[in-house]
Chains A and B, each alone.
Chain A
Amino acid sequence: KAGVTQTPRYLIKTRGQQVTLSCSPISGHRSVSWYQQTPGQGLQFLFEYFSETQRNKGNFPGRFSGRQFSNSRSEMNVSTLELGDSALYLCASSQAMGQGYGYTFGSGTRLTVV
């Protein structure tokens, strides 16, 4: 059974540019969440999608956006990149939303903004 696939694994972008990250969940998983991980802030919740609808959103500026497609694949977009956006971006999938459902994480996309 394939795991959660995130592409690309590494990315270097220039300040001001925009970036799109991709996440393919485990087959049958309909919930996809995105997290930003930095040494100082740890894992911070960005948003969660279920059945193509954003169900929860974290405290990030509007430059961070996402979407989910009918096949549950998800993309995350960051516009007007800032140096502080450098982080490991993790995607996690789950069978459904709600308590008790564990999340399976991908290996992440390491974004460096220069």
Chain B
Amino acid sequence: TQLLEQSPQFLSIQEGENLTVYCNSSSVFSSLQWYRQEPGEGPVLLVTVVTGGEVKKLKRLTFQFGDARKDSSLHITAAQPGDTGLYLCAGARGKLIFGQGTELSVKP
């Protein structure tokens, strides 16, 4: 049983479209992190959210931590081919627990 459920697992969209990736759990996390991983490389940290209800923006990416600190979302505005990759959410509960990831493909 996966502690962190990510949806969708796969997403293929055209350049310029918007998208949202969800990360849900029945457990509370002290913080939640989002990473992006490209083939053959390790994940790269995008953002850490700590406070329930927190919203952080990173250029065209908007991250939100749920009020109850059990879920999070990643919204990308006007997606570009360079956004293609595996997006991973990870919750901190003593150790870092990862979701299964969302494979995003943005076609030009």
Q: Which A residues form the contact surface with B (CB < 8 A)? A: 4, 33, 35, 42-45, 48, 56, 58, 90, 92, 98-108
For the complex, give the distance between the alpha carbons of A101 and B92 in Å. Answer: 9
Taking a contact as CB atoms closer than 8 A, the residue among B41, B42, B94 that contacts A92 in the complex is: B42
Q: Which B residues form the contact surface with A (CB < 8 A)? A: 30-31, 33, 35, 40-45, 48, 50, 88, 90, 92, 94-101
Taking a contact as CB atoms closer than 8 A, the residue among B30, B42, B95 that contacts A105 in the complex is: B42
Residues on B with C-beta less than 8 A from A56 are 94-95
Verify B42–A42 contact, CB threshold 8 A. no
For the complex, give the distance between the alpha carbons of A110 and B39 in Å. Answer: 12
Can you name the residue of chain B whose Cβ is closest to the Cβ of A33? Answer: B96
Verify B94–A102 contact, CB threshold 8 A. no
Residues on B with C-beta less than 8 A from A102 are 33, 45, 48
Verify B96–A45 contact, CB threshold 8 A. yes
Verify A99–B92 contact, CB threshold 8 A. yes
